[in-house]
Structure formats: structure tokens, C-alpha cells
Amino acid sequence: MGVNPNTLKILESSGVTKRFLENGRKLGAMNLWCKDKLIYRNDFSKAKHAYPFMLIQPQFETEGIMEEALAERGIYVERGLTLERLVKKNEGIEMELKNKEADINTIYNKGIVIGADGYNSKVREQLGIEFKGWEHHEEFRLYDIELETPLTNTESHYLFYPEGAMIMIYIRDGIWRVGGNIKDTLNYLPKGTKTGKISWDTSFTIKEKVAKQFSKANIYLLGDAAHIHSPAGAKGMNMCIEDSYIFSNLVNENRENEYHKLRYPKIKSTVGIIGQLTDKVGGNNIIGRTFRNNLDKLSPVFPLIMPRVRDFLLGIN
């Protein structure tokens, strides 16, 4: 839901950033709450970047704007295709694709093949590339819900309780995104908050995995096919767009075979940091509970560490 400054910069020359800014809403800060008290406001405007904020817009709107920009360039997204088989044949790659009518179409490609087909990547599976990691077994819940609340809707809110953590971000039209790993999450909303209609909700567990290889021959893995992680760091979609940007620049310079070497260390490190944040800050374990119970006592050091947390969340290197 959050488009970070790095993504806005990446898409600037395409004209997509301008459309994002016209459509989305600027998030100016993140607030940390402990025991129903505000203990720190992390001001995004202090970030040294052309776009010192997080842009909030639902991902389906982000995808829609990008799809329109592609169509204007004569490139059309075809949905409903499934990869059935992928095999290296002679100098190229043979692929069988099944459409919505269950018709099979065989394609032979001598060029580059990109597998950006998500967590359950058939491309990665067919290549036999390991996708190992770990899973946080706690259940997380997300809601899009109508709220009347005393919290400011121009900033995000991270609320910490002994039982877990939750986040609140205003979308638009009175709808907030609320999520966390606390049982009965909505019972922990701030005092004075009135709930309305729930328009969407889901539950999930979080996996942290990175593919052992990002390429094999002339086949490359990008996005969730190569790496998945907790949403805690606001990195998911943004890191996938960054993958595409870096890879396309390498292709333009005939250096695509360097993709794994350049990208893997960065991804591995970032996924590791996000996993530790999720487990040690929000996790239902002794470290997580101790941290959350004493978060207010740590506030004197926040001015030193929070600028780094801010830049990490915003994707500013």
C-alpha cells in the first residue's frame, strides 16, 4: 500500500510518478505508541530525498496506473495465463502456457525469460532452484475498516502492547488499514475509536525466504519469485519494482548475467533485517514481550536510531 521514495524516483522518467502523486496521499510521519501513550514521532520530512514521504495508495491502483502507462506504449498485460512447463531446448527456452479456456500455447524463446510469478513460482520450481527460509507461525490479521478515531490520519501509527503489535494507516474515505499479530486486534484500537463496516480482511502467516539463485542460463527470477518476507519494513512491492529497474538497466548494458551477484547480497541482508524486526519487535516471545513492555524506557535513544529506521522504511540508501 505504501510507495516509497526510491520507487517514486525510479518511475519518475516514465511519467508514472506524476500520476501516483496525483492519485495517492502523502504520509508525513510514523508514530510509536506504547501503553496508549505516544512515545516518538518519526518525521519523514527530515529525510534527505526529493520525495520525503511515503505515498499511500492501494496496490490495485498502483497496478492500474502502471498498466495504463504500458498500454500507452503499445504493451498490454494478458491475464489468466498459467505456465505449465518450461524446458531448455537447443539454444532457447520452450514454454507451454495455458489460457483461461485451458488451451495450451507453446512458445519458443531464444531471448531472456523473466520469472516474476510470485511466491509459488512455477519458473523457479521448473528450474529446481532452492527456496529455503523460515516461517513465523503466529497469525497476522489485516482489515480495511471504517473508523472514527482521535489519531491523525496524515501519519501512520505503530501500537505496541505486551500481547503483540499493530499498525494503523488511513487510506481514504474514512477507511483505515489495521493489522497486527494480536488476537482480537480490533479490541486494541485506541481509546475513543468507533468502528464501522469492514470492507476487507484477511489472515496469514509470514514466511522469510530467498532463492538460492536469481538466474539460471538466460532465465531470471524477479520479485516474490526470488524473495518473500514480512510486510513490516514496507518493502514488498517496492523491492520488486527495484528488482525490475536494476535488471532492465543491466539488460540495456548487456550485463544481465551480473544480476545475481549484484542483487543477491542486498536482498539477503534486507530480508534478514525485516525478519529480525518482525520476530524481535512484534513476536510473541520473551524478547518481543520484554522489548514492547519497556519501549517507553528506550525513548531517550530514539533520536539517534530512528533516523536510520526512517530511511530504511523509506528505501533511502
Per-position DSSP letters for 244-274, written without gaps between them: HHHHHHHHHTT-GGGHHHHHHHHHHHHHHHH
Domain of residue 308 covers 1-77+112-317
Q: Which residue has the higher pLDDT, 245 or 282?
A: 245
What's the mean pLDDT in 91-108? 93
Distance set, CA 298 to CA 32, 160, 186, 294 (Å) = 12, 13, 27, 7
Q: Which tens digit of pLDDT belongs to each residue from 184-225?
A: 899 999 999 999 999 999 998 888 999 999 999 899 999 999
pLDDT at 230 (0 to 100):
85
**Contact 140/179 with Cβ under 8 angstroms?**
yes
pLDDT band of residue 95 (cuts 50, 70, 90) is: very high
Q: Identify the residue whose cell numbers are 507461525.
A: 137
pLDDT band of residue 94 (cuts 50, 70, 90) is: very high
Q: Is position 82 within any domain? A: no
Q: Name the domain count of the chain.
A: 1
pLDDT band of residue 131 (cuts 50, 70, 90) is: very high
Alpha helices, H only, the chain: 5-10, 16-23, 59-72, 122-127, 236-252, 259-281, 286-293, 302-314
State how beta strands 194-211 and 29-34 pair.
unpaired
Contacts of 213 (CB under 8 A, 6+ apart): 127, 129, 221, 260
Cell of 122: 512455477
What's the mean pLDDT in 252-259? 96
pLDDT at 171 (0 to 100):
93
Q: Is position 102 within any domain? A: no
Calculate the CA 50 to chain-centre distance. 21
Cell of 225: 519469485
| CA 124/CA 225 separation, integer angstroms | 7
pLDDT at 189 (0 to 100):
95
Radius of gyration of the chain measured on its C-alpha atoms: 21
- Please state, rounded to an integer, the average pLDDT across all residues of the chain: 93
| Domain harbouring 288, CATH code | 3.50.50.60
Q: Is position 95 within any domain? A: no
Q: Is position 233 within any domain? A: yes
* Other Cβ atoms within 10 Å of 79 Cβ, number: 7
CA torsion through residues 261, 266, 272, 274, sign: negative
Q: Is position 99 within any domain? A: no
| CA 260/CA 250 separation, integer angstroms | 11
pLDDT at 194 (0 to 100):
96
Q: Is position 287 within any domain? A: yes
Mean pLDDT is lowest, of 4-18, 121-135, 288-302, for 288-302
Q: What length does the chain have?
A: 317
State how beta strands 29-34 and 156-161 pair.
parallel
